[in-house]
Structure formats: C-alpha cells, structure tokens
Structure 1
C-alpha cells in the first residue's frame, strides 16, 4: 500500500528565494507544483553577470527558469522580483497574489542572505553586514509571515507557513554570529506564530537543514566539505535540495495537519536536539 500526500491539489503557494539552479527554494517550488500547487516564486533579480558558471552554461534564467519547470508540471507559475526586507514590496506581492489567484494556502520563507563577509568573529563583524543578514533572514521572514498570515486568517480556511531556518541556529558556531542569531530568531518567530495562529488552523513550522548540496557550498572546496561530512554526519552524505523540499511538502499537506510550532532538523543525523 502506497502513502500519498494529499490536500495540495489546486492550492496556491508562495516560495521566496527560489531562483538559483542549485537551491532549496527551487526544489521546494517544483515539488509543491508536483503535489498540485500553483506557485508564486520570488528572487532578487540577479543579473546574469552574477550567475555561477554552471548556471551560465545551462542558459539559466533565474526565477523564470523555475517558473517554466512549474508550468511543465501543469501548474500556474508567477515569478516576482522581490526584496523581502521591504515592507512595501511585500505588501505589493500579497496584493498581486490575491488579485491573480484569489487566495494563498502555503507560504515558504526560504530567501536568505548569501554566505560571505559575515563569517568572521563578532569583534570583526561590520554593522552593515550584520544588518544585511538580519534584514533578509529575519526581517524578511517576519514581513512575509505577517502579511500572508493576515490573508490566511481572513480566508478562514487554515494554511501552512514554513520557515527555512538552519541547524546553524541551534549549533551556533564560532564566526557565524549574524547567521546563527538570525536563524535562531526565525525558530523563535515560528514558535510564537504557531501559538498565535493555531486557533485559525494555520500551522507554522521551521525546517532546519544541515549541509545541503546547493550553490551556497561553493565558497569551500568539495574536499573540505567531504571531510566535514565524514566527521559530522552519521548518514555519511550531504543532503540534497529535494531532501529538504519533501519535508516542506509533507508539512504543507493533509498528512502534516497536526504538526505546528516545530523546528525540524533535516541534516542526516548531525544534530539530535530540538
């Protein structure tokens, strides 16, 4: 007997940070479409000069390419360039979603600041770098969650908000202060909103990926990541974007209907704490 995830056919999902070819956001958008959702997907509007070599070689077109993948699965797709930290832009997105689709059912806050100059000791961390990480990872998640929660409450039919956090918000390693603080705060936001929105049958959860094979690993050599995985991950491999995406689809489905307020580690067994 097979187990089928249900409850997503004809639903409308919003997925932020979905434009990169090797990314969790792309995988979530595609798997939600495969499960039956129409998908509004956002990206930063990267210029082609900023694409990595593999995207250039593939003729990648950021969120437009992902939108094409969603449409190829028979679902509607709307790509939107968005600064998630801008409240006016978030309001405009919500109004556009309502005008085009008439509703929202699933919101996935996946947009995140890139690894980079934030990975230094706190004493060397520039304020503007701290502000940028907090703006995208935390402020953006707050703004999207707040605005679309209002829409979900008004609809009166429940729904699911899924925040992509990180095990880094639990392990809180050295030289990751801005990232770790932002992701720990996303987990706190998740918990508070789950308690507030439960009476409206709106579930709010966080997914905390571990080492996942995305473009964000490109700043460290493959050999260094292999050594890290061998030392730290009991299942012996890095995750794939689809590993994370399938968890998101479950949380959005009928089968995840009694899960809320959680921060699930999807990390190959690296962390065994909440």
Structure 2
C-alpha cells in the first residue's frame, strides 16, 4: 500500500484527495493546519493540527512510513512549504509542490505588483477606501494608516479590537462579478489590495475592479525553496503521487 500525505487546505488539495482515494493501492491522508474555522474537508482520512515544524513533520513521515508528500497548501503558506522541503530532505521522502497558476494582468487592468504586504501598505495614501482581501492575520499591517478606510474581507474574524476605520466583512468564496461590483460601489472603494492567490474562487474581484477602473495592488507570491518539483494541475499531481517509487 503506497502511503501519500497531502498538506492541504485548498480546493486543489481537496480535488487531489478525491482523485487519489478513488485509486486502488493508495492510502491517502490529508493534513489541515487548523487555521480556518469550519474548513471544507476533503474526502478520505483527515489529520488536523500542525506538526511542530520541519522536525515534527519529518518524524511523522518516518513514523507513518509515508512514501510521497504533496504540498498543496496556499501559495502564501511559506512556512509550511519550507517545513515540507526540509522534512523531505531529512527523510528522503519525495516532495511535490502543487500550486495553481497565479493571476495575470489583462487589458484594462491597472495593477501594481509588490513583493510584500508591508510594501502594499506603504502605497496607500490618505483618502483611500481599500478593499482588503489579504487575510485576517495581515490586518494589523494596514490599520492606523492616516486617512485610510478599510473594507477587510476574511473567512474568520480578526483578533479584537477592530479599529473604527475598519469594516470587517465575513464571507467565503466563490464570489460573483455582480456581487463584487455591487460591494465596490456600495462602499465607494477606490483601490483593491490582494495577494496573487490565483484560481477562480476569488478572481471575480479582479474582473469587477477592471470594469470599474479600480487600481489593484497585487502582492507577489513568496519564492519556493530551491530544487522543489512544482506542478500546477491536479492531474499532474495525481499522476506523480500514484506512480510507484
């Protein structure tokens, strides 16, 4: 029985788990970090909670006799990907990174790409009404900017207290262009700040921004550890994970 561990939490991870659990000769475990309340669960066996860093993950790989490790976490889960690379190197368990393609600028877009959330916050000027979709953990980087108002959308609420110049919107995709357009108009938003997560689940905001002439500050993905094997489709990841050693 070939044992596969999927580091999940994304739509791609759930799709991969569904494909692999349907194949004979595979034992598939999906691991969720537990950072989102009431996450969408994949089919098959699920492990929730962290490993305790790269050493803890390496111990799990050895103890559970894992044959293949797939990192299908969020493109911005930099620490988890670094832990996976270190644990793979320490144990010899092959590692594959599955990342959906990033978003690409289209005609009519006005994007400014930056390499960090801090750089994105530094571009905001007094009077800006910001559609912030970078996640609840980054909210503190954008609060307290002079004259800047934030509509901060996230799945789970941020840690209190929430400053008076921040309106928190709790919602989970997928979103529609019509809904995003209405949201931008309702709150008179003037700029969108987002991370280059890629995929279709939350891409409607980019179309709405293009249609309404809203500029976008796009935070680039962090670099991958050197030497990792990267694919961008579930089909490619399934073929790799199911292949005999």
After TM superposition, the score normalised by the length of structure 2 is 0.45
Rg (Cα) greater in structure = 2
The structure carrying a bigger strand percent of its residues is: 2
In the superposition, the TM-score normalised over structure 1's length comes to: 0.41
